[in-house]
Structure 1
Amino acid sequence: MTLTLANIAKTFPGGTKALRPTDLEIGKGEILALLGPSGCGKSTLLRIIAGLETPDPGAAIVFDGEDVTHQSVERRMIGMVFQSYALFPNMSVRGNIGYGLKMQKLSKAEIAARVDEVIDLCRLRPYADRAITALSGGQRQRVALARAMAPRPRILLLDEPLSALDAALRSHLRDELALLLRQFGITAIFVTHDQDEAMAIADRVAVMSQGEVAQIGTPEALYRNPASCFVARFVGDAMPLEGRIEHAQLHLPGGVLTLPKAADGQQVLVRAEDIRIDQNGPVTARVEAVTFLGTHYRIALSGAMTGPLFMLHAGLSAPRTGEEVRLSILPEALLVLPADRAA
């Protein structure tokens, strides 16, 4: 199903603008992530698509050419997966999945067939008759997905589907969620504040800030070509380099870097993985802390600029705390972007 959003805005009583006029086009079978910090408007946009919030006048929500702007939640045929999963603890896996189908007053045979279909799709056959309370967090997530898919919705909406899980399980399940969504072949939109989650699961990511979409694109496009400092910081944790810019040079307390282009009046940022220890490098810094992270070291540096600078070092060993090092950064690895406007 294709989804077209036009002029979607939301102003709450008192004048608070939770969402500024927003237009989006989402293709059939596409998985779109709404990514941003708390309060940026992503959950409000999801709730408007679902019919749980009413947009400001002038909005249009179109499913496959059908205007559903004023339709009720029930008529929109939306599948939803909530942050808490909202499963019934007194029911079995099969009972949870079939509950919504009973509300549709389908025959017992059709309910059984649909439940079996999504149980197999979500690899829940061994757990079909277990109570929800006997399942792990990952199994509950699959039950929530199966329940949302059983009524054959036109679109699937997911609100922070992994945030209730611990960090180790979340990392594993984001890959599983990506696989399941692609197996479903359904148009899906999910809200998250986790950039790794968005980049691992989505075909495209809409980065939101202050009630509007700051940039939309594939994960690769957002990472390699951010349109603003906000996007660069949010997708890839780029760090502003605090120094004096003179045309195509950045003068830092620790040395001078060559920029890819003249950058007067702009901001220069760098990602931790693009900083290298180089005995002939132009910038001097002091090692303040070294953290071993398995595949690499995270090194905190002082002296390169006014504030701390962090780098990722992939060598078999790392410099010691207190040691002076020289750094290099390729000009093409430096992000030269317009400074963010004031909030």
Structure 2
Amino acid sequence: MTLTLSNIAKTFPDGTRALLPTDLEIGQGEIVSLLGPSGCGKSTLLRIIAGLETPDAGASVMFEGEDVTRQSVETRRIGMVFQSYALFPNMSVRGNIGYGLKMQKLGRAEIDARVNEVIALCRLDAQADRAITALSGGQRQRVALARAVAPRPRVLLLDEPLSALDAALRAELRDELALLLREFGITAIFVTHDQTEAMAIADRVAVMRQGEVAQIGTPEALYRNPATGFIARFIGDAMPLEGRIEADRLYMPGGVLDLPKSAEGHEVLVRPEDIRLDPDGPVAARVEAVTFLGTHYRLALAGATQGVIFALHTGLSAPRPGDDLRLSIASEALLILPRERTA
């Protein structure tokens, strides 16, 4: 199902503008993430799509060409997965999945057929008759997905579906969620503040800021071609390199970098993975802290630019705090982006 949003805005009674006029089109079977910091409007947009919030006048929510802007939640035929999963602890897995189908007053044979279908799809056969309280966090997530998909909704909405899990389980279930959503073949929109989660699961990511979509694109496009410094910081942890820009050179406290193009009036950013330890490098820095992360070390470096920047180092050993070293950054790895006006 295609979903078309036009001029979607939301102003609360106290005058707070939670969402500025927003347009968005989502294709059949596409998975789109609404990504952004707390308070950026992503959950408000999701709730408007669901029918849980009423948008400002002039908005249009279209499901496959049908205007559902004023329709109730019940008539929109959506599936929802919440952060808490909201499962019924007094019911079995099978009972939870079939609950929504009973509310639709379907026949017993059809209910059983659909429940069995999604139990198999979500690999819950061994847990079908267990109580919800006897399940792991990952199994509960699959039950929540199965329950949302069983009524065959037109669109599936997920609100921070992994945030209630611990870090190790969240990483494990991220890939499983991506696989399940693609197996469902259903148009899906999910809200998250975790850039790794958004990039791992979504076909496209809509990065939101201060009530509007700042940029939308594939994870690769957002990473390689961010439109602003905010996008570069949010997708890939880019860091600003402060200094004096003269045409295509950046003069920093630690040394001078050649830029890929003239950057006057712009800001220069770099990602941690693009900073190299190089004894002949043009930039001097001092190691402030070293963190071992298994596959690499994360180095906090001072003196190169104003403030501290971070580099990822994959050697078998790392410098020690207090060490002086030299850095190099390939010119093509530098991001030259318009300097954003501060509010």
When normalised by structure 1's length, the TM-score is 0.99
The residue aligned with 1:300 is 300
Is the deviation greater in 45-54 or in 306-315? 306-315
Does the alignment pair 1:168 with 2:183?
no
For 2:235 and 2:160, locate their aligned partners in 1 and report how far apart those are by CA, in whole Å. 17
- Residue 202 of structure 2 is matched in structure 1 by 202
Counterpart secondary structure, 1:29: coil
Structure 1 CA distance, aligned partners of 2:321 and 2:57? 59
Distance 2:237 2:119 in 1: 39
Shift of 1:340: 2.1
The CA deviation at 1:49 is: 0.3
User: RMSD in angstroms over aligned alpha carbons?
Assistant: 0.7
Uncovered stretches (5+) of structure 2, i.e. residues with no partner:
none
Q: How many residues align?
A: 343
Cα displacement string for residues 54-103 of structure 1 (whole angstroms, at most 9, x for unaligned residues): 00000111111111111111111000000100000111000000000000
Question: SS at 1:22's partner residue?
Answer: strand
Structure 1 position 321, deviation (Å): 1.8
Instruction: Encode CA deviations 1:209-250: one digit per residue, 9 max, x unaligned.
Output: 000000000000000000001000000000111111111111
Amino acid at match of 1:120: A
Counterpart in the other structure of 1:114: 114
The answer to whether structure 1 residue 74 and structure 2 residue 74 are counterparts is yes
AA partner of residue 92 (structure 1): S
Identity %: 80
Give the equivalent residue in structure 2 for 1:191. 191
Structure 1 residue 165: deviation in Å?
Answer: 0.2
Mapped to 2, the partners of 1:144 and 1:309 lie a distance apart of 41
Number of the residue aligned with 2:130: 130
Query: How far apart, CA to CA, are the structure 1 residues paired with 2:20 and 2:97?
Result: 36
**Structure 1 position 138, deviation (Å):** 0.5
Deviation larger for 26-35 or 284-293: 284-293
Amino acid at match of 1:87: L
Offset from partner CA, 1:247-294 (integer Å, 9 cap, x none): 111111000011111111111110000000111110000111111111
- Determine helix, strand or coil for the equivalent of 2:126: helix
What is the distance in 1 between the residues matched to 2:139 and 2:243?
50
Counterpart code for 1:73? V
Within 5 A, what are the aligned runs for 1:208-287? 208-287=208-287
Give ranges in structure 1 of 5+ residues lacking alignment.
none
> Shift in Å at residue 341 of structure 1?
2.6
Q: Which moved more, 1:172-181 or 1:261-270?
A: 261-270
SS in structure 1 opposite 2:279? Answer: coil
CA distance in 2, matches of 1:241, 1:125: 54
**CA deviation profile, 1:292-330 (whole Å, cap 9, x unmatched):** 111111001111112011100111221222111100001
| 1:23 match: secondary structure | strand
| Runs of at least 4 residues off by over 4 Å | none
Match of 1:85 in 2: 85
- Higher mean alpha-carbon deviation, 292-301 vs 145-154, is at 292-301
Q: Tell me the distance in 2 between the aligned counterparts of 1:340 and 1:47.
A: 30
Structure 1 residue aligned with 2:179? 179
Pairing of 1:13-24 with structure 2 (within 5 A): 13-24=13-24
State how far apart, in whole Å, the 2-side matches of 1:39 and 1:115 are: 37
Q: Secondary structure at the match of 1:157?
A: strand
Which is further off, 303-312 or 199-208?
303-312
Q: What amino acid maps onto 1:59 in structure 2? A: A
Q: Distance in 1 between matches of 2:333 and 2:115?
A: 51
| Partner Cα separation in structure 1 for residue 290 and residue 51 of structure 2 | 49
Distance 1:105 1:253 in 2: 71
Distance 1:13 1:337 in 2: 37
Matched with 1:62 is: 62
Residue aligned with 1:56, SS:
coil
Q: Which amino acid aligns with 1:337?
A: L
Shift of 1:121: 0.3
Instruction: Classify the secondary structure of the residue corresponding to 1:70.
Output: coil
Aligned-pair CA distance for 1:15 = 1.1
Match of 2:309 in 1: 309
Matched AA of 1:182: R
Supply the distance in 1 between the matched residues of 2:279 and 2:8 (Cα, whole angstroms).
54
TM-score, normalising length from structure 2? Answer: 0.99
Find the aligned partners of 2:99 and 2:26 in 1 and give their Cα distance: 29
Distance 1:38 1:162 in 2: 16
AA aligned to 2:73 is V
Whole-angstrom distance in 2 between the partners of 1:305 and 1:128: 58
